[in-house]
Structure 1
Amino acid sequence: MKKLRTFLSLLLVALFTFGVITPKVSAKEMKTKINEDGRVQIILEFDDVEEAKWAAEFIAKMKAKNVISGYPDGTFRPNQPVSRVEAIVMAVRLMGLEKEAQAKSAENVKLHFKDAALLEKQYPWAKGYVITALEKGLFDTTEEKIQPDKPATRVWVSSLLVRALGLQADALKQMTKIPVFKDADSIPAGAIGYINVALEQGIIAGYPDNTFKPYKNVTRAEMAALLDKTGNGLLENTGAVTVYGTITDINFVSISVTDKVYEATTGTVTVRTFAGDSATYFIPADLMVQNKDGFIRANQLAKGDVVTLVIKDNKVIEAYLLDKETVENTEPGILKLEVQVDTGEGREYKLEYKNEKGKVYGEVKEEQGKENDEDENEDNGDKNNEDKNNGDKNNEAKNKENIALVKELVEKMALTSEMTKQEIADRVLSVLEIDENAVKELEIEVRFANGKKVEIDIEKEKTKQAEEKEDEEMEDDD
């Protein structure tokens, strides 16, 4: 018995050293309830969540990540404008720089803003976050004032979050690409590129009336939604991938030594993805797994659960448990597909498909004559923006017929992660009934349920049809 205890003690030392398990401790008090399936549901919500029910999921997720916080009275005040200093703090936290910012708060650093005294007087706790934001390039170089208490506008927040993603260079390349909005003239010239990138990244979008409203204040609820979109981009930038499938095995091992029980802090989960392959990952036992009602701990996941997992370095860092009853009949092997085809003759074809948490978002459109008058561009813009997922609010008003068409096209393509880039391109063009010889530019991005991502960018100097047309024109001239 003594030898056994010695062996177990040594085992515990080894496990602690490698960070696999820790002593069992009581969890922080949270609102909980027992679900019908016996799992403990953790509810992370504020007292006034009903005031912005559309954003409840985003607010809860950002709260779970400690990116946002509420007020002492238990409210979040979702419809209140988010201030600039609040937005800066949230962005820094989202980037995982909380500790760095807190450490800088104690430093005797003088800020070179004209209203630095206002910040230090009214928001001394935020000084370290502002310093960190400066060092990470989150501020416009022309900003002379922080204006910490000023409401953050859509154009200002867009710029902040694009910088948080480190996409300043991309923004600078798009400074002359004017967005097709009725109020594009009201967007500051120096912000055009940042708006374009924010739109491309899906962080933000225009309104159904084809306006952008750059100076409209962003509410705290909208900020939570924008942060969620940005967070997805940050994860991708760090090399994280998303897998989608069914849990086939999950293990968390607890060890007892004398009268003490040590609970595993890390287990393993095996998922058979909807792309057809299986993989095993490490998963923290206390990871907050989001579902339609709130959260559960990862150690309550079970075989047969349908999940979306975000993986980095073979470890689950985010997870979402899907409701089997509401998972749509989709093409589950594909999480995202974007196709853009330009024939160089005024015809442009775009297809967007996204399978997010079992729900499908899709859009397909064909534009003819991009050089048409302003009124036609505005009409196209209205149609495009009505169906596009709004980055400010979780736009649920999708065109059912459009989505059904996208789903049908994606199913016909039957793309797999084993296909070559050429095979994918050929299959896409075939299903869309586009002649390969007529293609001037082709862009495809597809993400499979096993985490594999394929990007295709083909640009031809001159299409065969264009050459034939030129030959005909030359003959006519002769």
Structure 2
Amino acid sequence: MKKINIVSFLILSLIFTSFSSIASGSTMYSGVSNASAVFLNMSYTDIGSSFARNDIMRMTALSVIRGNGNGLYYPSNKLKREEALAMILRLMGKEKDVQLAQTSRNSNPTAGTSSNGAIDSWAQGVITVAKNTGLLSKQDQSLDFTQYATRQEVANWIAKGINLSPVYGKDAQYVYSYKDSGLFDADKLPYIEATIESSIMSGYNNGYFGPNDSITREQMAAVLSRAFNVAYTMMGYTKDMGYVERIQKDSVNGGTRYTYEIKNDSGQDVALVAENSQSANYDFAVLKNGKAGLSSLISNGDRLTYYTNGSNVIFAETANGSIKTISGTIDSIWQGSFRLVDDSGNSYVIYYNNNTQVTMNSVDASISDLKYGETAKVTVYGSTATRIDVVYTDLSGNGQVSLGDRQDSGKIVDIETDNSQVSITLDNGSTYTVNVDMPVVGTGVSISASDLKVGEYIKLYFSSINTKMPDEIFLEDDYNKPVAVIRGSIAGVSGFNPKVQLNDVEMYRQGQWNATSSYAMYSLDGASVYLDGSKIPVSDISKYKGYDAYIMLENHYGIETATLVSIQSGFNMSYVGDITYDGNIMLVTFDNENDNRQVNVNDGTIILDNGLLVPKSQLSKASQAYVSFSRGGAANFISILDANAPSGYYYAKGKIINVTADSITVGNYYYYSGNEYGDESLNNNEWVANGDETFYVGDKTYIVDNTGTSPVNVPYDEFLKQKYRAANYSSVYIVASDSNAIAVNIRPLSSTDRVSKAVLSSSSGNVLTIDNVMDWNELNNKWELNTSLDSIDATKAVIVKNNKVVSANDLKSGDNLYIIRDGALGIVITVQQ
């Protein structure tokens, strides 16, 4: 007897050890004891030809809808209002409340009419809870709930039930695209728009929505199935996806245990367990290729979407997506997804996970090896990449390749310039060197490598394998182009391609936040989201309704997209001041030298320089900024205000004293008390008298006469007539390099001119829209933010860039401008070299 007990103990130990080895390191979910009943409920006999067959079975398995108990669903029957509300309340996780309300209600068990309208006896609890949860408006409460529900009523109730944010004003577009939009009830429009926008409901193929049409039970199942994808957490479910890597079968307690080992998309090991033995009987319902069953339907390699509640798995379904292959160029890469553009210009957002296999020229690689601009063949199952094959030219041999076969690309994170070369560091860590005058293509204007800025996206092309000197630079001017920094109160997140919804939206401009709209939505395609400096999933944004969000908007193929979202809790403060930065903490000093604050800079801080989103390292090069931060000291937005005066230029103004064949002398004839007041030049941004000064003039010197109503170019030989008093040019503003005049602006001298610096936002003709305008304050000997000046008329200005005169059309957004102006009229404008 003792030997038998020992043998039994060893057998049980081996079984337990085997089971434990599977469980080790895995999150385990056991099936449920009522799985067979769930399977039976899914197995309707009248849905074989229904377009919503899978939706009906799926929603039944997840307890959102039910049949009549005899294996029938009646898919083509029209749905009563009380039935529709009962289904929506189940989706909201309110079925227990309905049952309690029904039990406690003392009402006539037969159908009757209350003061609020007709209700069947079984639905008294449904209507009570629908009122209490706010599904029913006061007007709705007088409806006859025994009559058929309309499509607009269902759309309205769905949106309210699963907390979709209503869409108001100009952002409501879908409802008005239908031919029968005039039939929508005005009070329901914002909620119907939200339901349509979220792809939960849509119109007919003929362009009508049918607001007052009835809805069938199969149509409702399809609607609920799509709504469930948004609201499954309301029923207490957790949803995850992954691939079945192994199925283990064990004999246990006179029966069998099946363990389905899954690697989910987060890289976690998960075990779904079903057992039929003398001591336990649990399983879970499965829907595979349109067939309902239990876990035995699952095969190795299946991609499963599974729903759990606590420690139990309730239901699993295999992915319905077909396998396809797409070839194209990787256009953008984000956490968890990337965009591929094919040869026809079609773009695809494709998701990847830890199970996605990556190869490069058939050699195993990883997701981190993917780069912008690479050519790839992607195998897609549904919308998820199962395999990514990157193809590139073999760079072996004589060290030479065709231009473009070797490429690199990314965002510029650092630029260092000396007299002849520019060192460019990309966000992938690679550093390259180019000549300062190397042309840059892609913008439509003539620029060189010296014009590149931190924060811009570039693509580099090489004709040699190992060189760090590219042969061509392409500046990406259409994608990831900054649009604005905005802030607003979070109203919610909408749609399957999520958009953040904001109330009371304001846009930053020159130290001020200007109201733009009471409500707006922006795509979250590839966005990074932070709460008080800590990164959170995009899906969590809706948890922070009413919080302030600071958002960097960029242009993604014509769509204003939120790329960096910084959510802040608590009170916000903002100041302009001098800054010092040590790599983590920034010290901000305000007008009073003793008044300073320590501000924490984090990965969620939006940092703007020259209108571009830049890394934290740029702060160490800055001396002045606009800083917005929470009471706790976490910075949400910083706009660097430094715009250095262009080096190498000399600025002078004065009366014309003398003109020779190759020079012009400026100064002043007048003397006061023995002090000469000659021409004036800029020294530390202030005009200082110098006596007479001579500048050399040649055929490349640009001379313009702005004494009349319109500018007139003056050839130098014509200008020489001044020498013989044949012309009457009185005074000039000069831009020079050393003593060589680059430009001469003939015009009256102004006693009210002043010096400003700014960043070019855009140009239209000769009108320059500028941002971060700073005026030199001679009294305080410092730059001060000008919040009122937003444009300069450059019609009568000379514009100098790269030591030559250019037109306003040659300027580029983001150029740093040094401006001598009289009010909003430009006199001299130079661009930082």
Instruction: Work out whether the TM-score is over 0.5.
Output: yes
Secondary structure at the residue paired with 2:270? Answer: strand
Q: Deviations over 1:299-357 (max 9, x none)?
A: 55343323233456676444212479x433479x9999799xxxxxxxxx9977588xx
Task: Give the CA deviation at 1:194.
Answer: 0.3
Structure 1: how far apart are the matches of 2:177 and 2:155?
A: 16
The answer to whether the 8 A contact 1:177-1:192 is kept is: no
Aligned residue pairs: how many? 376
Please tell me whether residue 231 in structure 1 is matched to residue 211 in structure 2: no
CA distance in 1: counterparts of 2:118 and 2:157, whole angstroms: 21
Is 1:444 the counterpart of 2:538? The answer is no
Distance change >3 Å, CA 426–CA 215, structure 1 → 2: farther
2:43 is matched with 44
Structure 1 residues 110 and 338, CA, compared in 2 at 3 Å: closer, same or farther? Answer: farther
Q: 1:235 to 1:315 in 2, by over 3 A?
A: same
Paired position in structure 1 for 2:181:
184
From the CA coordinates, give the structure whose radius of gyration is larger: 2
Structure 1 regions of 5+ residues with no counterpart? 13-18, 32-41, 340-348, 356-402, 415-419
**1:475 corresponds to 2:793:** yes
Write the letter of the residue equivalent to 1:468: S
Letter in 2 for 1:271: I
Partner of 1:159: 156
State the partner residue of 1:93.
90
Give the 3-state SS of the residue equivalent to 1:118 in structure 2. strand
Structural RMSD (CA): 5.4
Shift, 1:288, TM fit: 1.0
- Please state how far the C-alpha of 1:144 moved relative to its aligned partner: 3.1
1:201-216 equivalent positions in 2, closer than 5 A? 201-216=198-213
Query: In the alignment, is the contact (CA less than 8 A) between 1:85 and 1:148 conserved in 2?
Result: yes
1:75-474 aligned at under 5 Å gives the runs 75-108=72-105, 114=114, 118-119=118-119, 123-167=120-164, 170-171=165-166, 174=168, 177-179=171-173, 180-182=176-178, 183-235=180-232, 242-251=239-248, 255-256=252-253, 261=254, 269-273=260-264, 277-283=267-273, 285-310=282-307, 316-322=313-319, 326-329=322-325, 353=349, 434-437=478-481, 439-440=483-484, 443-445=523-525, 454=538, 458-459=552-553, 467-469=762-764, 471=768, 474=792
Deviations 1:287-307 (A, max 9, x none): 111111322212553433232
Which stretch shifts more, 78-87 or 238-247?
A: 238-247
Answer yes or no: is the 8 Å Cα contact 1:88–1:129 preserved in 2.
Answer: yes
* CA 47–436 in structure 1, closer or farther in 2 if over 3 Å, else same: closer
Amino acid at match of 2:262: V
Tell me the secondary structure at the aligned position of residue 218 of structure 1: coil
Local SS of the residue matching 1:76: coil
Residue aligned with 2:793, SS? helix
| Shift in alpha-carbon separation, 1:199–1:64, aligned structure 2, 3 A | same
Of 285-294 and 300-309, deviating more is 300-309
| Rounded Cα–Cα distance in structure 2 between residues aligned with 1:298 and 1:135 | 39
Measure the CA separation in 1 of the matches of 2:768 and 2:151.
50
- Are 1:24 and 1:262, in contact at CA under 8 Å, matched by a contact in 2? no
Structure 1 residue 64: Cα displacement: 2.5
1:20–1:476: structure 2 CA closer, same or farther, 3 Å change rule? closer
8 Å CA contact 1:269–1:282 kept in 2: the answer is: yes
Q: Using the TM superposition, give the Cα deviation of residue 453 of structure 1 relative to its aligned residue in structure 2, in angstroms.
A: 5.2
Aligned AA for 1:165?
A: I
Cα 1:160–1:431 change in 2 (3 A) is farther
1:191 maps to amino acid: K
What is the DSSP-based 3-state SS (H/G/I as helix, E as strand, rest coil) of the residue aligned with 2:293? strand
Asked if the contact 2:31–2:314 (Cα under 8 Å) also holds between the matched residues in 1, the reply is no
Task: For residue 471 of structure 1, give the secondary structure of its aligned residue in structure 2.
Answer: strand
Cα separation, partners in 2 of 1:253 and 1:437, compared to 1, 3 Å: same
SS in 2 for 1:458: strand
1:198 alignment partner AA: T
User: Given the superposition, is the C-alpha separation of residues 435 and 29 from structure 1 closer, same or farther in structure 2, using an over 3 Å criterion?
Assistant: closer
More helix by share: 1
User: Residue 289 of structure 1 contacts residue 296 of structure 1 at CA under 8 Å; is this kept in 2?
Assistant: yes
TM-score where L is the length of structure 1: 0.60
Q: Matched residues in 2 for 1:74 and 1:55: separation?
A: 16
Quote the offset at 1:113 in angstroms: 8.1
- The change in CA–CA distance for 1:216 and 1:297 in structure 2 (over 3 A counts) is same
Deviation at 1:214, TM superposition (A): 1.7
